[in-house]
Structure 1
């Protein structure tokens, strides 16, 4: 690695850390102002809020916004290099434009690898603490409000509840059907089903069993019945920002278990996985885009280029938010939603690269 490479890499990482610090201060100030009433209402001290909440908030947001941070950093210091004619001197000295980008590429790959580990495994652990705090002190108490709940609890068994009270772990108008070869074999009904925390099983009182054998039906009644079903009370608890608190392997397991229960709307969780794979590539793409935009000297000075960089950064954030909303609603494939901003930025980067003066 030559002196010039070390020089650019040094500025790359130093400016990135500066932008990260700046964003951390902005996030903390804005978020604290917005939620200060909740902190006061719950008698939380400033130190407690900082140690129990904002440490994890900053970790979560800075890793999530790392592609934007690196883009702003690249535009900022490269525009300054261009205005001081340092880039012109490099190119006039015989360096090719492709060679100029090389240290940027090295830096972006290193940050991309670090970002992938962070958003895939480390950040979800911080998000877990953040979400727990928000549910305890900021969000209203959660009540499970879904009606007419249908769940597949085994290969041949299907559960139905008209409603469920998550505060006492009790379901109402319960039915459990066993189906074999498209034929109903058994049906258990009861007015209620509740969780037995001692036995770690579901308990049914005053139930009726309908057994079917060909055209014949047998009806029997009972007082108490324990059921070991592939669904636990945790399933009916709050899923507020659950996708943020799960690592990539945990998200894959969660999606598989939900599909096994017959749940169809999982776009939010699938999109969360795809975004974590897309973030590292966004670091590389946005780094190159930042170089292409800011490496030429303009009459407007570096301030104009930095303003353009901020504008494009917010445009990228807008694309991510919009595509995520479409994925959550099920109107767009999670893969397309997560990768579309990267594809668009790649196309813009390629067009600008081939037209930039070299």
Structure 2
């Protein structure tokens, strides 16, 4: 590796680490200050959250904004190189712009590979820890949606359904339980109902109280059975049977793929939230290379206004990029776009733009 490569990679990674540390500290202080009243109102201390929530939240934050941090870092240190006429000196010495760009690609590819591994395997572990306490940082209304009582309707297979009139996800118990099974002609052949249901984690089954069991025979006659208590297992815990929007974040990619496949087989048509999570894990790291190319093209020429103009342009584009991902998630969940298209659309738009600007800059 040449002296030039080492110099630029050192600048690249040094600026990136500095930006990473600065963002983490600033956002952590602001977030703790904002959320501390909610944390304390739920019976926790801020110290408890600093130990068991925020270290994992920081990992989530870094991964979410990594591509933007790389973009701003490249804008920042490349603008300084341009203002100090270092780029002019390098190109004047006989090195082409493509040769000058090589260490940028090496450094951004290294960060992208690390981000890819973290997204698919490390972040889900951090999310499990984070999401355990996450609801206690929400407003009371949003917390109630995740942990409070709600009606449950879920499909176990194309012919099997579970209905619960009121189920508490925190306590994992509910009232008004009904399990129904139909034949291929959509005729009810089996029903199990109970006044209440509770999950027994140590035994891996549901316990039903005051149950009524009905089996419909081929001649339409019925066999009825009732009792005070019985158990039933559906092969999965409540978190899998009644998933919320946070579940996909907690699974490594192989686990998420198996979960999506199982939900498809069940006939669940509301999978876009989990598909968005799946595709974003790859598209976001890939965007690091695209945004590095874009930042290099925008900031490698000395401009009137210097560093401030380049940073202003960079921050504006960063906001557009982040907002586009979040907006497209909503669009995808409303089934206007497929998750694959939605999560890759920012890269599809910014990629050609970055290439055009790069080759225009290289040919100047």
- TM-score between both structures, scaled by the size of structure 1: 0.89
1:114-153 paired onto structure 2 within 5 Å: 114-136=114-136, 138=138, 140-141=143-144, 142-146=147-151, 149-153=153-157
* Structure 2 Cα separation of the partners of residues 228 and 245 of structure 1: 23
The alpha-carbon deviation at position 67 of structure 1 amounts to: 0.4
After TM superposition, the structure 1 = structure 2 runs for residues 88-107 of structure 1, keeping only pairs within 5 Å, are 88-107=88-107
Determine the C-alpha separation between the residues in 2 that align with 1:236 and 1:116: 29
Q: 1:186 corresponds to which residue?
A: 189
Q: Distance in 1 between matches of 2:130 and 2:198?
A: 29
**Deviation readout 1:21-69 (Å, 9 max, x if unpaired):** 1111221122112102123334644433322222111111011111000
Structure 1 residue 71 and structure 2 residue 94: aligned?
Answer: no
Q: For residue 113 of structure 2, what is the aligned residue in structure 1? A: 113
Q: Is the 8 A contact 1:202 1:226 kept in 2?
A: yes
Give the 3-state SS of the residue equivalent to 1:186 in structure 2: strand
* Equivalent in the alignment of 1:39: 39
- CA–CA distance in structure 2, aligned partners of residues 185 and 268 of structure 1: 31
Secondary structure in 1 matching 2:53: helix
Q: Is the contact between residue 167 and residue 175 of structure 2 (CA under 8 Å) also seen in structure 1?
A: yes
Matched-pair contact (CA < 8 Å) for 1:201–1:228: yes
Distance 1:39 1:192, change over 3 A: closer
Higher deviation after alignment, 59-68 or 21-30: 21-30
Q: Does 1:331 align with 2:347?
A: no
- Pairwise CA distance, 1:339: 0.5
Q: For residue 181 of structure 2, what is the aligned residue in structure 1?
A: 177
> 1:160: how far off?
4.2
Task: Give the match for residue 222 of structure 1.
Answer: 225
Give the SS at the match of 2:288.
Answer: helix
Which is further off, 348-357 or 91-100? 348-357
1:273, CA displacement in angstroms? 0.8
Q: Report if aligned partners of 2:213, 2:224 keep a CA contact under 8 Å in 1.
A: yes
8 Å Cα contact 1:196-1:203 kept in structure 2: no
1:163 touches 1:173 (CA, 8 Å); kept in 2? yes
Match of 1:291 among 283, 296, 318: 296
| Structure 1 pair 272–94 and aligned structure 2 pair: CA distance change class (3 A) | same
Contact 1:75-1:291 within 8 A present in 2 as well = yes
Is there any run of 5+ residues in structure 2 with no aligned partner, and where? Answer: none
Partners of 2:204 and 2:46 lie apart in 1 by: 42
Structure 1: 5+ residue runs without aligned partners?
none
Query: Of the candidates 300, 320, 324, which is equivalent to residue 315 of structure 1?
Result: 320
Deviation, 1:354, is 2.6
**Which of 164, 167, 175 is the matching residue for 1:165?**
167
Give the corresponding residue for 2:356: 351
Structure 1 Cα separation of the partners of residues 124 and 204 of structure 2: 32
Partner of 2:82: 82
Distance 2:293 2:204 in 1: 59
Aligned length: 352
After TM superposition, list the pairs within 5 Å mapping 1:234-313 onto structure 2.
Answer: 234-235=239-240, 239-313=244-318
Higher mean alpha-carbon deviation, 66-75 vs 321-330, is at: 321-330
Is contact 1:159–1:176 with CA below 8 Å preserved after alignment?
yes
CA contact (8 A) 1:144 1:238 kept: no
Counterpart contact for 1:108–1:284, Cα < 8 Å: yes
TM-score calculated relative to the size of structure 2: 0.88
Classify the secondary structure of the residue corresponding to 1:95.
Answer: coil
Deviations 1:189-241 (A, max 9, x none): 5354624635724547452524232xx22122212364443454334667252
CA deviation after TM superposition for structure 1 residue 121, in Å? 1.0
Whether contact under 8 Å (2:155, 2:266) holds in the other structure is yes
Task: Name segments (4+ residues, structure 1) moved above 6 Å.
Answer: none
- For residues 303 and 82 of structure 1, the distance between their equivalents in structure 2, rounded to whole angstroms, comes to 13
Return the alpha-carbon distance in structure 1 between the equivalents of residues 15 and 72 of structure 2. 9
With over 3 angstroms needed to count, the CA separation of the structure-2 counterparts of 1:40 and 1:199, relative to structure 1, is closer
